[in-house]
Amino acid sequence: MISFETDIPDKELLELMELGNEMGFDPLDSMESEEYFLKLLEKYAPLGEERMQAVRKEVEKDFLSFDKPPEWIQSSEWPFFHGKPMCFVGQLDTANNKKSMPCGLCFYVFWDKETGTIETIAQCD
């Protein structure tokens, strides 16, 4: 069994995982992702009970999708640029039945609106 430790408290982690399921991200999919969420939790720590509501609003503002969230073939790999999640532009799914493609392949396109930086993630089944 692989052991993984995070500084995100269990209660908040469960809520972030639920939000991530809705929006297509995993708060622990990268060090950048975990750092982003730790900073948010620290920023809103004084709010007490209302903390997660404030975090949710900021996450909904930062994890943008042009149309709908990514439908990952594997686990989430939402990229970050300068500490913020990039905007999800869309995905291109290839057909599984082509002889030249032994598996399903999907390209996920992300964009940083401030710099114009584009990142593409590829996953296959």
**How does pLDDT run across 74-90, given as a tens digit for each residue?**
999 999 999 999 999 99
What is the C-alpha to C-alpha distance for residues 85 and 31, in angstroms, rounded to an integer? Answer: 12
First-to-last C-alpha distance (Å) of the chain:
23
Q: What is the mean pLDDT of the chain?
A: 90
Would you say residue 125 has pLDDT above 90? no
Give the pTM.
0.85
Cross-strand bridge partners of residue 106 = 93, 123
* pLDDT confidence of residue 2: 47
What is the C-alpha to C-alpha distance for residues 70 and 32, in angstroms, rounded to an integer? Answer: 18
Q: For residue 6, what are the CA distances in angstroms to 16, 39, 89?
A: 13, 13, 29
Is 104 within 8 Å of 73 (Cβ atoms)? yes
What is the C-alpha to C-alpha distance for residues 35 and 32, in angstroms, rounded to an integer? Answer: 5
* pLDDT confidence of residue 49: 82
Among residues 19, 21, 49, the alpha carbon closest in space to that of 37 is found at 19
Would you say residue 97 has pLDDT above 70? no
Q: Which two tokens stand for residue 97?
A: 């039945």
Cross-strand bridge partners of residue 3 = none
